[in-house]
Structure 1
Amino acid sequence: MATTKVNPYLDGNFAPVREESTVNTLEVIGELPPDLSGMFVRNGPNPQWTPIGKYHWFDGDGMLHGVRISNGKATYRNRYVRTKAWKIENEVSKAVWTGLLEPPQKNSLPKPMKNPANTALVWHAGQLLALWEGGAPHAIRVPELKTIGEYTYNGKLISAVTAHPKVDPVTGEMMFFGYGFAPPYVQYSVVSPEGELLQTEPIDIPMAVMMHDFAITEDYTIFMDLPLTFSKERMKRGEPMMKFERDKPSRFGIVPRYGNNSNIRWFESPACYIFHTLNAYEEGDEVVLIACRMNSTTVLDVPQDTHIDSQADIPRLHRWRFNVKTGKVSEEMLDDIASEFPRINENLLGQKTRYGYTAKAAKGSMPLFEGIIKYDLSAGKSETHAFGRGRYGGEAVFVPRPGAKDEDDGWLVTFVYDTVEETSELVVVNAQDITGEPVARVLIPQRVPYGFHGAWVSEEQLKASV
């Protein structure tokens, strides 16, 4: 008798939880620091209904998991992001849209692809936004995690919004971009500290690419035109629309913050793919970028030509230097250990930092992470916090201690799932004692599936939320 193969992204702790819960008292092992006050919120895919056709992890409806911490105590709640597509499917009690691995639908749906708002979060101008790179953000009310609706900057938004906007901690401005399948393939926007969309400029690149992240410095914005391409012409020939083209170089475009396509400068390096940047900064005549680099990628089952790359999809921390005077480019690997989801103390975003943090990848084909790596970028050293046998976590968000003077004075927070006990918890690690035991483990009474990106909303931000 034939057995049905289970989709790994619908199994184990990748499987969705359908119940929305509110728990006002959580058990804490250890002690929550008295000056740790705010809310950790993490976004991730959580299909509301059984998917149609092939399902990819990127497809699921966005669900927010939030832990509110105050006075040494913690509460928990999880809520779906109630997008337009979520509401339509909720009304008919079934999935209506197919996912990224299926051909685009040709029917009466409002759009061929739904915006699940499932990828990341950003706090800006008194508002928490849930993000997905193919559409508009969704405004979220905290601490309730209630969806307010699509956020279009008073109708000024004319592009999709990356899942990874950058907020300058000095000026309070936010920079974002959106990419698409038709020219202009990239649009670049700047938002004022008060939340006004100030400018949107088209950026000219040769063809459509998947551009997941970017970076900023004090004066520049850095775009990554990497050879993971989209081609309608390929599709018409019966070939895949999306493909990693290893014979094309990676291109990095550096533009002044308030610049446009006329003053962007492009630099080339060997073909690669980058999902996430750690940080960027200026040093003399050089713009320095630090990011997790892959030789190539098979994301969304894209083909790899006839060449089998044993290093495909293995991200490692790298550093690039772009000399804006001479045009010289250098690239170096900082560590041969596989890791992803890079974060820093975001009070220093766009400036040179000493420390960076990544999620240490576990061996195997699934995106599981077994610990947190703390990089001392000045000394060229690293230390690792291990979650423990059979325990896997995700992106660790750095929470600065109020009034801290040292860059690493704060905590790293992430959800961890114990595959033996089948339990979930929020782990709080002292960033200055990364190899030590967590200072606190907040036990969650329901399973928290693996997800994508999180954000820390401080007590001051919660009080100022709109």
Structure 2
Amino acid sequence: MSTPGRRKPTTPGHPYLAGNFAPITKSWSPTPVTWTGDIPAELLGGMYVRNGGNPVTNSDLGREAHWFDGDGMLSGVWFERSSGDANKAVPHFVNQYILTDVYLAAVENSTLQTPILPSIATLVNPLSRLLVILWRILRTALIVILTHCSRTHTAIKRISVANTSILFHDGRALATCESGPPIRVTLPNLETVGWFDGSKAEGERSADTSEMSTPDSKATFGGTGLLSWMKEWTTGHPKVDQKSGEMVLFHCSFAPPYVHYSLIPTQDNTATRESKQRQIMSAPVPGCSGGKLMHDFGVSKDHSVILDLPLSLTPLNLAKNNPVVLYEPKKPSRFGVFPRYNPAAVRWFEAAGCCIFHTANTWDEYDLEGRMAAVNLLACRMTSTSVVFSAGNIVPPPHPDHKTREKSRRMSFFAKYDNEPEFMDPEKYSSDETSPLLSQDDSEGSSSVRPQIPMSHDDEEQCRLYYYRFAMTPGAANTITHQFALSGIPFEFPTVSPLTDMTNAKYIYGCSTTDESFGAALGKATKIDLIIKMDVKALLAQAQRSPPASVTGCVDDRSIDQIMASTDLEDPIKTFKLPPNHFGQEPRFIPRQSGSPGSNLAEDDGYLVLYVFNEDQLNKAGECRDDAQSELWIVDAKTMCDVVCKIQLPTRVPYGLHGNWFSEEHIRRQREVQTLRTVQEPRPSTRGSWLRTKLINSLG
């Protein structure tokens, strides 16, 4: 165990530095842990890992901070096979910081009070003064320059904190973030290898890439030229085709053509689908309208979908007296659809302005004669960007369609609220304000009642699982034939079975909340107490029978309460409700193994794994006790009722971002590593290094 984090024992006012959002200060090498229930055979030898920000420089708790900030920390549970019985598992917990350039520089300069990189909250706050923003950017630039001077251990060459997601491709586990390339880590120890440039990772033997089958095998993401560093910026959500083994990703920057596209084939001979084995490295995608906040995209078996939304991210906004991040919902959302191997053939489709951070699934549609007909996209569509601001404890700018309500207050993404009527969620309403429908709340034997309020179609604050169909008939106009929500309930952090990803999957899983929306509130924070399972095919069939209104329509407009109260075994929406005061994180689906050759399992035969925290472990000030612990829950994805196993962890896992499941085969097939990144011991002080340290520390 190590303790690189630093934190004063005071109560912060920022909701994303408090409670189980607060960073932890210890890392753990693989440590055996206890469990209750039965560990499914499918988990033997495999590992679940989740990424998220955990700021190592954390002395100033009054600073500006954002949930998307923070040094990347991986938290995993490895189900090692028992040495005494290979059919049994011994779970191990492990968590480690990702040793990025920024992290290593922060550890080396341990007297810094605030993180090296400017907070996203500073950049997106409409009230941030221009001089403050420029100073924060200049401070970062000065620290970067100083790390290149004298005999420093760590020169900051890339500013990524690698805190968003983690995936497996071609023998490498890769952690990702938009501000840099992926970085490789090892499984199961979660040690850092080095940056992946599209050809190889630092720390690997050079021979590992000598058999690449294309003449462009040594090409890298950034390439050459003055802006090559910008083209290294890679989406936080690369997609890996489980059959071909190809990894598809894009790079978004501030300079034209704004978006580049890469496709990295695999040398893995276990890929079951024949791949063209064609490498595409940083090919421009023509037609993008500017520098945008592009967090995700869609990938089907034969097509990719770029999201050019009215959410800009560019320093040029400052010249127009606008914040760096600017949402303009009156402008259209644009979707660039193109064949997987030909981004130059992009076709652009326009829809009503919205914000999308995560896509759920993308699939191709062919007619009876095998001709291309359409590309379908499921995404978590938001009608405001309030989460960008609430995650930084910032008052969001008013939505253009905002209508003032008396005694209104902003709401948070998955937040808890008082039950006073004037504070009710605007996504929910009562058809008769004088006589609301009531439902009994039986939790913990309470006899109290709470309003059962149906969902409204208010377009100001929504985040719903949404369906788009892009007509792709050759020569036809670029038309979106379908665009509507599948359900009126909040839905985010989607996941799908890896066996049906990029195809017409039946089931999508995701996160929701029992009684709130995805809006914004000061002093509150994102919390998940409900896991949702949606039968997409059933809902789309229902839409075929009774088409909802375009754009604003909704196939199933029931409230959370009504869905939870349903006893219909064929209900297309099922829920898993966490116990009172328990909150979860993004789930991942693990398919169940077939019992015998030729037997067919249903698509939802499998398990959901997710971290869960009991907030009874908070003190009166809302802070976690020193001995607070999280658990990893394994839930039956078919029934959405049974918790088949709970893994007790030695520490808590802060509420974070995205995770993934790595099979025993993934761990076994990792490429050979020659060197690992490490935190170096301080070198003997010299006059030059002393002066450099003084200068860095003077920057706070």
TM-score band by shorter chain is: over 0.9
- Give me the CA root mean square deviation: 2.2
Query: Are 1:294 and 1:312, in contact at CA under 8 Å, matched by a contact in 2?
Result: no
- Which of 427, 450, 459 aligns to 2:655? It is 450
Per-residue displacement from partner, 1:316-345 (whole Å, max 9, x unpaired)?
A: 111111111243212011011112100001
Q: Work out whether residues 36 and 401 of structure 1, in 8 Å CA contact, stay in contact via their aligned partners in 2.
A: no
Q: Which moved more, 1:290-299 or 1:354-363?
A: 354-363
| Higher mean C-alpha displacement, 168-177 vs 121-130 | 168-177
Q: Aligned with 1:88: secondary structure?
A: helix
* TM-score (structure 2 length as normaliser): 0.63
- Structure 2 distance, partners of 1:4, 1:460, is 44
- Whichever residue aligns with residue 15 of structure 1, its letter is A
Q: Secondary structure at the match of 2:662?
A: strand
- Residue in 2 that maps onto 1:12: 19
Taking the TM superposition and a 5 Å limit, the aligned residue runs for 1:58-457 are 58-70=68-80, 71-93=88-110, 94=112, 95-102=115-122, 103=133, 104-106=136-138, 107-110=141-144, 114-154=159-199, 156-158=220-222, 159=231, 160-194=233-267, 197-204=279-286, 205-261=288-344, 263-284=345-366, 285-298=373-386, 299-300=388-389, 303-304=397-398, 307-308=401-402, 314-325=462-473, 326=476, 327-329=478-480, 330-361=482-513, 363=516, 365=521, 366-380=525-539, 381-403=572-594, 405-421=601-617, 422-434=628-640, 436-457=641-662
Indicate the SS of the match to 2:487. coil
Q: Is the deviation greater in 174-183 or in 365-374?
A: 365-374
Residue 368 of structure 1 deviates from its aligned partner by 1.0
SS at match of 1:279: strand
Contact 1:209 1:230 in 2 (8 A): yes
For the 8 Å contact 1:243–1:304, the answer to whether it is kept is no
Q: Residues 313 and 458 (structure 1 numbering): CA distance in 2 closer, same or farther, change over 3 Å?
A: farther
**TM-score normalised to the size of structure 1?**
0.94
Q: Is the 8 A contact 1:51 1:98 kept in 2?
A: no
Counterpart-to-counterpart distance in 1, 2:121 and 2:59: 11
Structure 1 window deviating more from structure 2 (194-203 vs 286-295): it is: 194-203
Asked whether the 8 Å contact 1:271–1:296 carries over to 2, the reply is no
Q: Is the 8 Å Cα contact of residues 495 and 509 (structure 2) preserved in structure 1?
A: yes
Equivalent residue letter for 1:96: I
Deviation at 1:13, TM superposition (A): 0.3
- What amino acid does structure 1 have at the position aligned with 2:38? E
Letter of the structure 1 residue corresponding to residue 143 of structure 2:
L
User: Partner amino acid for 2:74?
Assistant: L
**In 1, Cα distance between equivalents of 2:581 and 2:466:** 28
1:296 Cα offset (Å): 1.9
Contact in 1 for aligned 2:221/2:281 (Cα 8 Å): no
Distance 1:340 1:353 in 2: 17
1:4 deviation in Å?
8.3
Q: How has the CA–CA distance of structure 1 residues 340 and 306 changed in structure 2, closer, same or farther, with 3 Å as cutoff?
A: closer
8 Å Cα contact 1:340/1:361 also seen in 2: no
Structure 1 residues 418, 314: CA separation in 2 closer, same or farther (over 3 Å shift)?
farther
CA–CA separation in structure 2 for the residues paired with 1:145 and 1:312: 42
User: Cα distance, 1:313 vs. partner?
Assistant: 5.8
User: For 1:394-439, what per-residue CA distance to the aligned partner results, in whole angstroms no more than 9, with x for missing partners?
Assistant: 11100112337322121100101110145310000111111x2300
Aligned sequence identity (%): 34
Distance 1:113 1:201 in 2: 21
Determine which structure has the larger strand proportion and give its number. Answer: 1
- Amino acid across the alignment from 1:80: Y
Q: Distance in 2 between matches of 1:207 and 1:295?
A: 20
Which 10-residue stretch deviates more, 73-82 or 32-41?
32-41
Distance 1:234 1:200, change over 3 A: closer
User: Which deviates further from its counterpart, 90-99 or 380-389?
Assistant: 90-99
Q: Measure the CA separation in 2 of the matches of 1:113 and 1:138.
A: 11
Deviation digits for residues 297-316 of structure 1, max 9, x if unmatched? 13145634654376556421
The equivalent residue for 1:57 is 67
* One-letter amino acid matched to 2:629: T
SS in 1 for 2:167: strand
Contact 2:198 / 2:264 at 8 angstroms: preserved in 1? no
Compare 211-220 and 418-427 and name the one that shifted more.
418-427
CA distance in 2, matches of 1:58, 1:134: 12
Checking the alignment, whether the CA contact within 8 Å between 1:65 and 1:79 is kept in structure 2 is: yes
- Distance in 2, matches of 1:198 and 1:271, equals 31
**CA distance 1:445–1:20, change in 2 (3 Å):** same
Q: Quickly say closer, same or farther: Cα 1:313–1:108, change in 2 above 3 A.
A: farther
Cα deviations across residues 280-302 of structure 1 (Å, max 9, x unaligned)? Answer: 11123121101111112131456
Alpha-carbon separation, structure 1, partners of 2:656 and 2:11: 25
Q: SS of the counterpart of 1:105?
A: helix
1:164 partner letter: H
Q: Which is greater in Rg?
A: 2
Which one of 664, 686, 692 corresponds to residue 459 of structure 1?
A: 664
SS at 1:73's partner residue? strand
* Stretch of structure 1 that moved more, 15-24 or 440-449: 15-24
- In structure 2, relative to structure 1, the CA distance for the partners of 1:273 and 1:345 (3 Å cut) is same
Q: Per the alignment, do residues 283 and 46 of structure 1 end up closer, same or farther by CA in structure 2, a change over 3 Å counting?
A: same
Contact 2:32–2:91 (CA under 8 A) maintained in structure 1 = yes
Q: Which amino acid aligns with 1:58?
A: F
What residue identity is the alignment partner of 1:407? E
Q: How many angstroms does 1:73 deviate by?
A: 2.6
Mean Cα displacement is larger for which, 335-344 or 198-207? 198-207
- Greater per-residue helix proportion: 2
